[in-house]
Structure 1
Amino acid sequence: MTEFEDPPAPTPDGQEPERFKGPVRLRGDQRYQTTSTTDQRLLDSRGPSDWVHTDPWRVLRIQAEFVEGFGALAGLPRAVSVFGSARTKRGTKYYQKAEEIGAALAEEGFAVITGGGPGIMEAANKGAKKAGGLSVGLGIELPFEQGLNRYVDLGINFRYFFARKTMFVKYSQAYICLPGGFGTLDELFEALTLVQTKKVTKFPVVLFGSEYWGGLAEWIRTSVAEAGNISPPDLNLLHVTDDVDDAIRVVHDAYAAWEAAH
C-alpha cells in the first residue's frame, strides 16, 4: 500500500483485512511486506535467490541435519565420545593415550565417536579402527580446520553446533575428555549440566590427564562447591584419571548399571 492509497475497507463482519503467509497471519502494513509467493520464488528460476538464506529456510536446514544425524546413527552400538584438542601433535603423550583409549573402548565393544578432526580426535578414531571397532566422526563446518580424518568409518559433517552436540549426547554412554580448548570445555560443561539436571542419566564424564585437568577439578571443589553454587554430590560427576584401564572401568561400570536399570 502506498501513501496515496486509502486503507482497505473492513470485511463484512467488521474485521480488519488480513493475509496469510503459510501459518502466519498478516494484518495492517504487514500485509504488503511481500510481493511474491513462496511458490513463485521456488518455480521462477529467474527470481532472486536471497530467500534461501533467510531464517525460515535455515529452520529446514536445521531439521535436515537432525534427520540425517538420527538416520545415520540410529543403528550404532553402545558408544563413547572422546574429546580433545585438534592441535595435539602426532607422537605426543596425549595423542598416544587417546589412541590407546580408542583401542581399549573398541575392545570393550564400544563405538568411538569424536569430532572427526585431527589431533586427539584423529588418535581416538585411529585406535578404534586399528582395534577393529567402529570409528565415528561428527564434523563441523569451520573456516580454519580441515574435514574428517582418514580413520573415520562413519562420518557426518554438520553446519550447526547444537545439532551436532545433540548427536554426541544422544548416542554416547559416556564422555572421555583429554586436554583440549574451548570446544572440549564446551562439550564437558554441557554434559555436566545435562547430568546434573537429570536430562541424561548414568552418564560418566572422565577427565583424562590430572596435570591438565587437576586445576579445574580443584577450582570446582574449592570455589564453585564451597560457594554453594553446586551441591557436594555434583563433585562426583567428574572422574579424573591418568590410567587408561581406570577410564575404561568407569565407562564399563556406568554402562553396566544403566543396563541393569533397563
Structure 2
Amino acid sequence: MNRHEYRKGPVTLRGTRVPRSTTDQRLLDTRGSADWVHTDPWRVMRIQAEFVEGFGTLAELGPAVAVFGSARTGPGHPTYELARQVGSALVEAGYAVITGGGPGTMEGANLGATEAGGTSVGLGIELPFEAGMNDYLNLGINFRYFFVRKTMFVKYAEGFVVLPGGVGTLDELFEALTLVQTGKITSFPIVLLGTAFWGPLLSWMRDTLAAEGTIGAADLDLLRLTDDVDEAVDWIVTERAERAVDGPSTTLGG
C-alpha cells in the first residue's frame, strides 16, 4: 500500500487526510470528551438498535390492528369510550391492538383490548410533554425516533382504525395513505371512525384535491368512513379474508 494512503474500512485516505494514529489506538488511549455519543455515526448505531429491538419484540405478535387518535380525549369523553369499544371489538375478532401507548384515545383502545382479554400493545415515543405509557399495556416499547416507530406500526399492523385526533393522528393517517397509494403496502384497510369529524376532510379531498387533479378519484376509495365500530372491524376482517384467498401480497416487510 502507498505510504501516503490509509484505509479506514471502506474509506481511502491520502496525503494530509492520513491520520497519525489507528482507530484502535484512539479507542483505547483516548479519555477525552464524551461528545462522540452525539455524533451521526453513533446515532446510526442507536437507530439500528431500535429497529432490532422493535423487530425482535413484535415478530411473534400475530394479527394486529393499530388504533390512532388524540392523546387529549380522556376518560368520559365520547371518543375515549368509542376507542374502548374498538379495542374490545378488535380483540373479539382475533386481533392484537397496537396504539401509541399514551393517554387519551390510545389509552381507551388499550383498555378495551385488556378488558376483552387480548394483547394490548403500546409503541411510545420520547417526547418532552407527554405523560408516558398508559397502564393498560401487556407489551410496551418506547422509541427515540419517530421514523422507527412508524415503521413498526405499518409492518406489524394489518390495518389502521383512525379516530378523531390532532397533528400526530393526521401524520400517521396520511403516511399510511401515501404508502398504500404508492403501492409500498397493499391490502391495508384504513378506517376513519367518526363521520362528523372526518367528513369535512374527505369532502375537501374530493372537492379540492381530486377536482384539481392532485390525487385520483380512486384514491378516496382507499379510506372507509363510518360511525359504526362493528362495520369498521368487519371491513378489516373482510380484507384479511380476501388476502388469504388471493395469496401473499407485498407488504412493508416483504
**TM-score range with shorter-chain normalisation?**
over 0.9
When Rg is computed on C-alpha atoms for both structures, the one with the higher figure is 1
> How far did 1:196 drift?
0.7
The answer to which structure, 1 or 2, has the higher relative contact order (CA under 8 A, 6+ apart) is 2
Shift in Å, 1:42 = 4.0
* Among 178, 191, 197, the residue aligned to 1:212: 197
Q: Show the counterpart of 2:115.
A: 130
Measured in 1, the distance between the counterparts of 2:22 and 2:130 equals 39
Secondary structure of the residue aligned to 2:224 is strand
The answer for the alignment partner of 1:196 in structure 2 is 181
Which of 219, 235, 238 pairs up with 1:250? 235
Q: Specify the alignment match of 1:171 in structure 2.
A: 156
Question: 1:67 pairs with 52, 66, 79, which one?
Answer: 52
Moved more, 17-26 or 165-174: 17-26
Is 1:158 equivalent to 2:135 in the alignment?
no
Gaps of 5+ in 2: 248-254
CA distance in 1, matches of 2:15, 2:208: 55
Select which of 43, 47, 53 maps to 1:58.
43
* Alpha-carbon spacing, 1:119–1:42, altered in 2? closer, same or farther (3 Å): farther
Alignment size in residue pairs: 247
For the structure 1 residues 161 and 36, does the alpha-carbon distance in structure 2 shift closer, same or farther, using more than 3 Å as the test? farther
C-alpha change, 1:148 and 1:82, in structure 2 (3 Å) is same
Is the CA contact 1:41–1:48 (under 8 Å) kept in the aligned structure 2? no
Distance 1:36 1:130 in 2: 61
Q: Give the aligned CA root-mean-square deviation in angstroms.
A: 1.7
CA–CA distance in 1 between the matches of 2:32 and 2:22? 11
Counterparts of 2:35 and 2:22, CA distance in 1: 14
Which residue number in structure 2 is paired with residue 76 of structure 1? 61
1:211 maps to a residue whose letter is: A
2: CA distance, partners of 1:43 / 1:154: 39
20-29 or 83-92: bigger deviation: 20-29
TM-score norm. by structure 2 comes to: 0.92
Letter in 1 for 2:51: F
Unaligned stretches of 5+ in structure 1? 1-9
Select which of 227, 236, 244 maps to 1:259.
244
Change (3 A) 1:90 1:44: farther
* Structure 2 equivalent of residue 141 of structure 1: 126
Output the amino acid matched with 2:14. Answer: R
Amino acid at match of 1:250: W
Report how far residue 243 of structure 1 moved.
0.8
Task: Deviation per CA, 1:50-82: give whole Å up to 9, x if none.
Answer: 112100011111111111100000001100000
Structure-2 separation of matches of 1:244 and 1:184: 18
Are the structure 2 counterparts of residues 222 and 129 from structure 1 closer, same or farther at C-alpha, using a change threshold of 3 Å? same
What one-letter code is carried by the residue in structure 2 that aligns with 1:240?
A: L
Q: Which amino acid aligns with 2:12?
A: R
Identity between Structure 1 and Structure 2 (%): 62
State how far apart, in whole Å, the 1-side matches of 2:186 and 2:9 are.
Answer: 40
Could you list the runs of 4 or more consecutive aligned residues of structure 1 that deviate by over 6 angstroms after TM superposition? none
